[in-house]
Structure 1
């Protein structure tokens, strides 16, 4: 197992602490699966379904051989994440026009979102390297997940949250877990840029999706769907696209499942963005070679309110591998879909409902045949509240000639 730069293919040791290559490219974990037997793995993963109290009981570490085979068992941090439901829903099926669909409810994770799948691995890996100060930029789900796992292993969490467009319930959840919030005027992208620039100097281990071990954990979502469907995946996987980490993880997981021989057929992937924050969809629709960031993304689906998704190149790879498509939907379409999912007894956050709204739109325009089967990935569940919170640190945006950052680097002592 080693770390590879997605852009220049430079290789690094698996225990190297870094967010990006010197060339600016994102990093990716490369495994050697040549000695694995698909049938033996299927039996092993099935046997682990009987686990109850070991780290292998969860829906992430059940697949440890495919995610982080070199991590010592005593370094695993887990709340038995994964094991989330896969539900058929007649009301949602009627709404979308798709005759047969399932909803993968990642809201059933311990902190309420799919971020737990990735965060369990990122924090475990950081812990194994001796790190105990974990950080992220977040508009909601990531913050709660990071704070939970950091607290679980006795570490500290530092969460950068924009002053606008943040899921309030997730902020309260983050504070409850002991997370230290740094509130700033700017966007998710600004917070991530600051962390990538200053994390090393501040002794922070960055757990956003630029961390390749986050992606390793999140690919367990497609592993679990495959196992739940007896290793025969549907025609389509439909998922929301914000930072595009899930799209990246999904593509990586599908490539590995196919290479090992755990699945015979690869489903097509549809990535759904909100109209007001759709730089990736616009790039694909226009046939552009690179992504143009949106400086002021605007959608009420706060988890999708990202104008410069860091994982866009990996998401392009997912589309190419799966012959995938993209689509954007309005906030009105998102909330109409959310109402149907909520009333079906499953429930989801607005960003999750984008997957259902996207499926409806793709069936309506003929991109997806109504007779084809589909799984919509529901990222999580939360309410969205705008307000000020006690206990937050304050952080002023500023230009610094020394660092080139929009943040003051000595916020810690304000």
Structure 2
């Protein structure tokens, strides 16, 4: 597992955002802006605060996890909720930026991809100078998978490796325009008008980086998957209980993809498989608490505690 939840604001977005905000400062810009499902807003707000830049974020009203919204709010971002989806926010972010003289820091900004590609360098280093056989990555807007591909290609161009990994882009069934295009052999995506999934971070129907993502998957000889929400939740739960790694549902898509391919026999036991876990579970607490947590309340005695646990323990 490549656990990106350990980054400063709890998601992979920090890799690209520190580079993007640094460029904004170098250009003399005083205001930055993004459209976001949550993680981009939290990351941009943090780095903008550190750089003393004004930050504006556009989010789908009611469609952002409270943990992510709280981060952006306390980091000083000016948050505007839009009646619509993330895709609606993306449709207006560039024009809004022009009117505000703001620097756009969505993943359409190439500096974001330049920062995010460093994750590929880290994977290579952490595997002892080796490239994995497979790299599984959740796909929403598509920039992260494209960044990994760019990073691995650069390692090969530098002579550090002769191999490239096969990339697997994993989407939720209710928001899978990229996976659908690849699975159906199409050259163009068909945007999903009303994307629906418990995985809010990848609830995107018209991904801005779909061309780069499709090229990366096909160029690597990889695969695209679309998985039902119950499998994402199963992977999220299993990862927490067996590895002690708590991720948000979208982040668990990579692990769910590996589970699916392993069950189908596509992955072999001798192969190295890296699952990119893109964000911490505390980013989306509502999803984690979708089922009521039952807590036994007893008297503060050993006897009562052991009784609640179902008998004596030694």
Q: What is the TM-score when the length of structure 2 is the normalising length? A: 0.88
Paired with 2:148 and 2:215, the residues of 1 have a C-alpha distance of 11
Contact 1:248 1:318 in 2 (8 A): yes
Q: SS of 2:235's equivalent?
A: helix
Does structure 1 residue 227 correspond to structure 2 residue 125?
yes
Correspondence for 1:403:
none
- Name which of 295, 298, 313 aligns with 2:196: 298
Runs of 4+ more than 4 Å apart: none
Give ranges in structure 1 of 5+ residues lacking alignment: 1-102, 387-414
Paired with 1:178 and 1:225, the residues of 2 have a C-alpha distance of 33
Does structure 1 residue 369 correspond to structure 2 residue 268?
yes
Correspondence for 1:353:
252
Paired with 1:331 and 1:164, the residues of 2 have a C-alpha distance of 19
Q: SS of 2:254's equivalent?
A: helix
Query: Any residues of structure 2 matched to 1:267-286 within 5 Å, and which?
Result: 267-286=165-184
Q: SS of 1:299's equivalent?
A: coil
Correspondence for 2:72:
174
Give ranges in structure 2 of 5+ residues lacking alignment: 288-314
Correspondence for 1:383:
284
Correspondence for 1:128:
26
Paired with 1:148 and 1:268, the residues of 2 have a C-alpha distance of 33
Deviation of 1:228 after TM superposition, in Å, equals 1.5
Paired with 1:341 and 1:286, the residues of 2 have a C-alpha distance of 31
Correspondence for 1:313:
211
Deviation of 1:320 after TM superposition, in Å, equals 2.6
Paired with 2:286 and 2:248, the residues of 1 have a C-alpha distance of 12
Greater per-residue helix proportion: 2
Number of aligned positions between the proteins = 284
Contact 1:216 1:249 in 2 (8 A): yes
Q: Which string of whole-angstrom CA distances, capped at 9 and with x for unpartnered residues, describes residues 298-339 of structure 1?
A: 001000100001101101221132111111111100011001
Contact 1:141 1:170 in 2 (8 A): yes
Deviation of 1:254 after TM superposition, in Å, equals 1.3
Q: Which string of whole-angstrom CA distances, capped at 9 and with x for unpartnered residues, describes residues 164-212 of structure 1?
A: 3211101011111001100111111111110122312211111011001
Correspondence for 2:290:
none
Query: Any residues of structure 2 matched to 1:256-275 within 5 Å, and which?
Result: 256-275=154-173
Correspondence for 2:294:
none
